[in-house]
Amino acid sequence: MATAAAQRTARTEPDGAPDTAGGTAEYQRAFDAAVAADERIEPRDWMPDAYRATLVRQIAQHAHSEIIGMQPEANWITRAPSLRRKAILMAKVQDEAGHGLYLYSAAETLGTGREELLDKLHSGRQKYSSIFNYPTLTWADVGAIGWLVDGAAITNQVPLCRCSYGPYARAMVRICKEESFHQRQGYELLLALSNGTPEQHAMAQDAVDRWWWPSLMMFGPPDDESQHSAQSMEWKIKRHSNDELRQRFVDICVPQAESLGLTLPDPDLKWNEERGQHDFGTIDWTEFWEVLKGNGPCNEQRITQRRRAHDEGAWVREAAAAHAAKHAGTAGGTGATRA
């Protein structure tokens, strides 16, 4: 541990970036050694610019996904069919706002403010998970999102609890605990529908049919088309490839679908004895890229609602800032204040 402590000291920037090329090389070596030793990089440690930029992009987009992801589920809060389900759904949507807040905080440790990140979301310069561009058309979609979408998110995120960047890894530990809870609740919702009336069962099957393929797309493009993967794995931001995680998810879902009494909409899905894994059909990558480009069923609606909430809330945030400025004795802070 003595060497680890020495390394940490060597990696911590005293005052901004080192001023000589030799200094940078030394910092780079210490950074590489820390990553190789599975140590955590912390906010005040030196890190390569590209590492910082990749993390800002990934954490911000993760935060944006939590915030946009509130919409498809909030769509059913006012129509939830029992008070118990309504309470569960409200708590879940609230958790998502909380996850967004953790993740913006984690991103802010890298030197970018929340306002700037939100601005990038609103102007389309940063993305959010493509899954939230699909509509929630029936109550069963709430269950399918919990089971499949949260299930895919957990498969992706559990390895992030060991991500090389400390603040992100710690945020993921908290988030994964809550996500696992949501995922079980989604599964239980679908189970109730599947064992309910014929209409309820059909509703559950229809939702799974519509959400299955988009959930598989959540793992991102195939490994040979994933532009950030190799570097992220080298930096130990990512621990497994897109295709590995996707395979793991399929293998987890198949028996769960069976115990739900529901089928998965893939005629090519079958157990492969040799590989000890399931084979499955080909993802419609054209659809994936179209949704990513903004041409999915709800892209326009999601971003418009987010912008509207932000714009219509501007006067509230200005009031809070003006009030705080007046009462902190630092008058004239932001915006017009009342005389």
Partner 1 sequence: MTATVPATTTAAALALGDDALVLSHRLGEWAGHAPALEEEVALANIALDLLGQARVLLSMAGDEDQLAYLREERDFRNLQLAEQPNGDFAHTIARQLYFSTYQHLLYAELAAGDGPFAPLAAKAVKEVAYHRDHAEQWTLRLGDGTDESHERMQRACDALWRFTGEMFQPVDGLDADWPGMADRWLESVTGVLGRSTLTVPEGPRTGAWSAGAGRQGLHTESFGRMLAEMQHLHRSHPGATW
Please report, as ranges, the residues that interact with partner 1 according to CB under 8 A.
67, 70-71, 74, 77-87, 90-91, 93-94, 97-98, 100-101, 104, 139, 189, 192-193, 196-197, 199-200, 305, 308-310, 312-320, 322-324, 326, 335-338
Shortest separation between residue 96's beta carbon and partner 1, angstroms: 8
> Which of 99/210 has CB closer to partner 1?
99
DSSP H helical segments within 123-197, as ranges? 140-144, 150-157, 166-194
DSSP 294: I
Shortest separation between residue 338's beta carbon and partner 1, angstroms: 6
Shortest separation between residue 3's beta carbon and partner 1, angstroms: 41
SS3 content of the chain, % helix, strand, coil (to 5): 70, 5, 30
> Whole-angstrom Cα distance, residue 337 to residue 37?
54
* Contact of 186 with 164, CB cutoff 8 Å: no
> Which of 170/326 has CB closer to partner 1?
326
Q: Report the SS3 class of residue 135.
A: coil
Q: What phi, psi does 283 have (nearest 5°)?
A: -75, 145
Question: What's the alpha-carbon Rg for the chain, to the nearest Å?
Answer: 22
Shortest separation between residue 70's beta carbon and partner 1, angstroms: 5
> Which of 46/132 has CB closer to partner 1?
132
> Which of 139/213 has CB closer to partner 1?
139
> Which of 195/272 has CB closer to partner 1?
195
And the tokens for 242? 């897109």
Shortest separation between residue 321's beta carbon and partner 1, angstroms: 8
And the tokens for 295? 């041409």
